[in-house]
Amino acid sequence: MPEFKNQGNLFGAAPDRPYHLSVGVVVLNADNDILALYYPTIDEITDIYVLPNKTVKPNETPADAAIRGAKQELGCDIQIITFLGSTQTQDIWWKEIETPKPVEKTVLYFLARATNQDSAAVKDVNETEGRTVVAKTFGFLIENMSKTQLKDGMRDFNHAAILARAQTWISTHPDLQSETL
């Protein structure tokens, strides 16, 4: 039987597996603003706003990954409202290799409501990552994400389309209740 490399997390990209699966979340706060992560700069790209997303772990459901991502990056517990769909982008995988490789990155997105938030709980990790948690309107985030310039093939910063999808879903569900809940 052949030996396979990188058997650890089958959802994460690896040199011999150029595919990656993450789960992202659009989190509404009590004011119906979106909780996002703000990076003043990454490389030479400035003013970057992104939605939290996490790589799915083995034996973890997508909903569990969304809940974990909101807790670890935004410092909040969430109640998932609905599945919003997915995006697929090309990204560059550069960890542990000399020559970056293209990666197909799929992100599954959920719409959720923050049930509480403690930004102080994630302050240290966000400072280490060079980012802060912000609450912004749909319009602000869609406009700013649409303007983000790309560098070296990174295409994973622009979440404007999924935000527009969430905004449309909310406009047709004023009580924010999915029929599937």
pLDDT score at 49: 92
> pTM of the predicted model, to two decimals?
0.86
Summarize the confidence of residues 71-75 as an average pLDDT.
Answer: 95
Structural domain tally of the chain? 1
Residue 4 lies in a domain: no
CA atoms of 101 and 95, how far apart (whole Å): 10
DSSP secondary structure, 146-170, as one string: HTPPP-TT---S--HHHHHHHHHHH
Tokens 């009590």 -> residue = 30
| pLDDT tens, residue by residue, 103-118 | 888 999 999 999 998 8
Dihedrals φ, ψ of 171, to 5°?
-65, -25
Residue among 175, 170, 34, 157 nearest 91 (CA): 157
Strand, helix or coil for residue 126? helix
- The pLDDT-based confidence of 1 (bands split at 50, 70, 90) is very low
Residue 2 lies in a domain: no
> Containing domain of residue 37, as a range?
19-172
pLDDT score at 13: 77
Residue 12 lies in a domain: no
pLDDT score at 155: 57
Q: Check which CATH number belongs to the domain holding 64 and give it.
A: 3.90.79.10
Residue 5 lies in a domain: no
